[in-house]
Structure 1
Amino acid sequence: MGTLLPRAIEQLGVEFTFLTRAPEHYARQQPPEEMHPLLAGRAVVTADTNDLADGLRAAREIDADLRIDGVLTACDYYLPLAAHISSALGLAGPSPDSIADACDKARTRVTLDHAGLVGPRHRTVGLDDEVLLRAAADEIGYPLVVKPTDLCAGMFVRRADSWTDVAAAVAQLRSFDINARGQKREPVVLLEQFLDGPEFSVESWVHRGRVHSLGVTDKSLGGDSGFVETGHMFPAHLSPEDRSALIVTAEQAIAALGLDDVVVHTELRLTGDGPRIIEINPRPAGNQITELIRYVDGIDLPSVAVELALGRDPSSTGGSVCSAHRSSSRSAAVSMLVPHRAGTLTSLHGADAITDHPAVVSATFKEPGHVTASGANNNSYLGNIIALADESGAARRVADDLLAGLEVTIVDTRS
């Protein structure tokens, strides 16, 4: 979202001020001759955005000087702060409580349980309480999923087939108590029943209590953990009955959390007993899913997010419809290049053929010299390609076949 939200803001003719604790973080992400889109607004204001009081103080000063009409964030870890600012200034947006329930995976489970939505067996346990951890794991049964409650991008989500696996996953979580944005982490872990079945997401937006769902995206998983997202296709190739069931379940979960005036990306698994919620993200989907929708339906979800933050109804303004980018294709897919090992990328053979392929509308790869970890989470990609197809459900095969022809060389450069 760090590039897509600024693009959407510009296309809607709106200006933005960027509030951040570390502008240098974004400057480092671009080549020296380029400016990161988040730094290209009308102003950059520095404050301790990890401190609610200081974030609110800075926002009120900006509002007094320039007037704030809406609040958005490009980072999952600042969704709670954005909700508090919009609430404090009387602006449109989801309530701080609904965002807190959605962003904390343990609170999400409790809220959905209270609403009567069937989900996996689960327990939240302190990281240092081995007795309760063992008891919770035995109660849930193996296989199970070990999941941090407050991280994103699939970080440190692990399948456990035994207590040894649980202990190893918990030990990893104990090894750090600060997230990537310098925020103190909750010293707990969520243990969940492993849900068997393909994974999907429902892309929606909510305005004044009414949920609008655009469709269902499919997902492929892999990487070292088995939970790294390796590709997506929109729309998912599903029966009408399965598609409807996924959407109904997602919309019930959104209502249970009380989310409003926000774009929502709901992840589910389609089990033998029906759809089950994995998690609910109160922001536009990542990993190019919003681009897939834009190519197929001409709807730009980052623009929808901007309009909702401004208190507008996206279904009536027309600003979220990007006909210039809508294609005649009935299927769009992204395939992610996941590193097979840690080390330094030395070569990518076949990238030019992918870029020149008529079905490919976007191909982005890391340059040789890039140092990578192994494919442990959704932050470790070496690139991705987006392909279109005229036949419904066909784009995934095109994208995956093209990526399979890429020869990747990674060397171990550790001393």
Structure 2
Amino acid sequence: MMSTIKTIAFVEPSFYGVSFARAAYQQGHTVIAIVSSKDNPKKYGYEGIYHDLIVADIRDEQSLYQAITDSPYSGKLDALIPATDYASHLTAKVAERLGLRGVPYEAALKARNKDLARQAYAEHGVPSADFRKVRNFDEAAAAAREIRYPVVLKPTNCASSQNVYFIHDEAELQNAMDIIVDFKVTYMDFKVREEYLIEQYLEGPEFSVELFLQKGEAIFAAVTEKRTTPLPFFVETLHTLPTPSHTDRQEDIIRTAVHALQAIGLTDGPSHVEVKLSPSGPRIIEVNGRPGGDNISSDLLVLAFGIDIFEATVNYYLDQPVSLNTEHNRAASIAYVTAERDGVFEHIRGFDHVQQHPNVVRAHVAVAPGDTITKAKSSDDRLAYFIVASETPQEAKRLALSLLESLSIAYRNQEAGIV
């Protein structure tokens, strides 16, 4: 319990952001959730860990500002924290207007918009991918010819690998563009910009860097190894922290990630930076000015190092001392179950055994019998996950992969039987 209770507002807690609300609540602070619907605490799983709700249009800066200034908490907030990616830049702007500490608006805007971030990397000499911003197929085809196939097509302001495509040739590009131009609205009804990126495809293993900066310097850094689905999609299916591979390149990877954050103006607080270790060295995929999702921050950092980055971030926003001392050196992995084909879900064979394994600390199935499932094209299509803890990264990864390979999906056929 904190000696001084503060009043903290979180903008639309969801996914990783629920851990923010929980950390502040457990610290004894007064937690206010600013939401687009009163149903959201139940929807996103934070019932019982907030004290009050404020309803606002979280897609609109003025609505957020007005909802706060019209509330009983006007002039009484000690911190305003973005708890969803999509509202991070708007939250930053409102925090500036209220005189509260936070990420600079321009930095948050660049982190949210991949084209602005790529431009900043280029201006500051940060190794990333060659790219072009395009609006239609003709521009995309011209850009792909300049960059040379294979290329990656993606939205400029989305997340969770939504409509990210690996493209071999012009025919595939045409098909993907036909789909992506019809993608108008993403999570929480945020608009998808009608500008897209054609990027150079980066070869090499993928990592993320979990960072906490103070005045541009890393006071905590850890590298997570990633595994993704086979191309043409990029859905993450395994995270291992700390990385069991390419440990001799960790410092290079961390240095490149910090350089990228500095380039967009993120100099304080938590971040999650995705990197490819290409044959020419680390290259930036994207930067997120918040703790890593996918249970990396909420579970893997805690299991591996005893680090609570959410508690540290709450303290940062409150301008209180930040403690990120490593309590132990272990390892953890999270593995996601995905479907190899489309169909109607019945159950996951072997999942009971996984849940009972002594190294599995948590396991969860996100679908129910009778649900239609598809081959994973984005993170939304993952069916289940489990988290393993071990003494070494190599053992954590080996065990997670072994358990993952022991599972299979039972489908319901049209006669209501099981196959």
2:28 corresponding residue in structure 1: 13
**Alignment-mate amino acid for residue 405 of structure 2:** A
Aligned AA for 1:341? R
The correspondence of residues 364-375 of structure 1 with structure 2, limited to 5 A, is 364-366=364-366, 367-375=368-376
1:313 Cα deviation from its structure 2 partner: 3.3
Q: What is the aligned-residue RMSD (CA, Å)?
A: 2.1
- Within a 5 Å distance, the mapping from 1:295-306 to structure 2 comes to 295-306=303-314
**1:267 counterpart SS class:** strand
- SS, match of residue 362 in structure 1: strand
Instruction: Deviation per CA, 1:336-367: give whole Å up to 9, x if none.
Output: 11122334321222222111111111111134
Deviation of 1:304 after TM superposition, in Å, equals 2.1
- What residue is the counterpart of 1:342 in the other structure? 342
How high is the TM-score relative to the length of structure 1? 0.90
What's the counterpart of residue 3 of structure 2? none
Cα deviation for residue 38 of structure 1 reads 5.5
Residues 278 and 89 of structure 1, relative CA distance in 2, 3 Å threshold = same
Within the alignment, does 1:199 sit opposite 2:220 as a pair?
Answer: no
How many pairs were matched up? Answer: 398
In structure 1, C-alpha distance between the alignment counterparts of 2:53 and 2:189, rounded to whole Å: 20
Q: Is residue 158 from structure 1 mapped to residue 173 from structure 2 by the alignment? A: no
Equivalent positions of 1:174-253 (< 5 A) are 174-222=181-229, 225-253=232-260
Contact 1:195 1:269 in 2 (8 A): yes
1:282 matched to which residue of 2? Answer: 289
**1:55 positional shift:** 1.0
TM-score normalised by L of structure 2: 0.89
**Superposed, which structure 2 residues align to 1:10-409 within 5 Å?**
10-28=25-43, 36-37=45-46, 40-62=49-71, 64-65=73-74, 67-126=76-135, 128=136, 130-222=137-229, 225-290=232-297, 291-315=299-323, 330-366=330-366, 367-409=368-410
Instruction: Give the partner amino acid of 2:396.
Output: A
1:239 Cα deviation from its structure 2 partner:
4.5
Show the counterpart of 1:33.
none
* CA distance in 2: counterparts of 1:96 and 1:372, whole angstroms: 39
SS of the residue corresponding to residue 368 of structure 1 reads coil
Q: Distance in 1 between matches of 2:398 and 2:82?
A: 34
- Write the distance in 1 (CA, Å) between the matches of 2:254 and 2:178: 37
Amino acid in structure 2 at the alignment position of 1:16? V
- Which stretches of structure 1, 4 residues or more, deviate above 4 A after TM superposition? 63-66, 320-323
- The answer to whether the 8 A contact 1:334-1:386 is kept is yes
- AA partner of residue 157 (structure 1): V
Q: Contact 1:342–1:412 (CA<8 Å) still a contact in 2?
A: no
Deviation, structure 1 residue 183: 2.2
Q: CA deviation at 1:235?
A: 0.5
Q: CA separation of 1:322/1:61 partners in 2, compared to 1, >3 Å: closer, same or farther?
A: farther
Q: 1:284 to 1:396 in 2, by over 3 A?
A: same
Q: Deviations over 1:154-180 (max 9, x none)?
A: 111110000111111111111132222
Deviations along 1:211-268, whole A, 9 cap, x unmatched? 3332100000106743000001010024453001000000111111111333100000
Aligned-partner residue type, residue 381 of structure 1? R
The answer on whether the counterparts of 1:342 and 1:374 sit within 8 Å (CA) in structure 2 is yes
Contact map agreement 1:155 1:378 (CA 8 A) in 2: yes
Contact 2:221/2:254 (8 A) holds in 1: no
CA distance in 2, matches of 1:375, 1:355: 23
Q: How many Å separate the matches in 1 of 2:56 and 2:147?
A: 43
Native 8 Å contact 1:202 1:266 kept in 2: yes
Shift of 1:49: 1.3
Confirm or deny: 8 A CA contact 1:83 1:96 kept in the other structure.
yes
| Equivalent pair of 2:210/2:273 in contact (CA under 8 Å) | yes
- Please, which runs of 5 or more residues in structure 1 have no aligned partner? 30-35
Deviations 1:253-284 (A, max 9, x none): 11111113331000000011000000001111
- Percent of counterpart pairs with the same letter? 28
Q: Unmatched 5+ residue regions in structure 2?
A: 1-15
SS in 2 for 1:344: strand
Measured after TM superposition, the shift of residue 370 of structure 1 is: 3.8
SS at match of 2:171: helix
Cα 1:74–1:276 shift into 2, 3 Å: same
Contact 1:122 1:193 in 2 (8 A): yes
Shift of 1:39: 6.6
CA contact (8 A) 1:200 1:218 kept: yes
- The CA distance in 1 between the partners of 2:217 and 2:231, in whole Å, is 39
Shift of the 224–245 alpha-carbon distance from structure 1 to 2, 3 Å rule, reads: closer
Query: Which stretch of structure 1 is more off in the superposition, 8-17 or 109-118?
Result: 8-17
Structure 2 CA distance for aligned equivalents of residues 413 and 249 of structure 1: 52
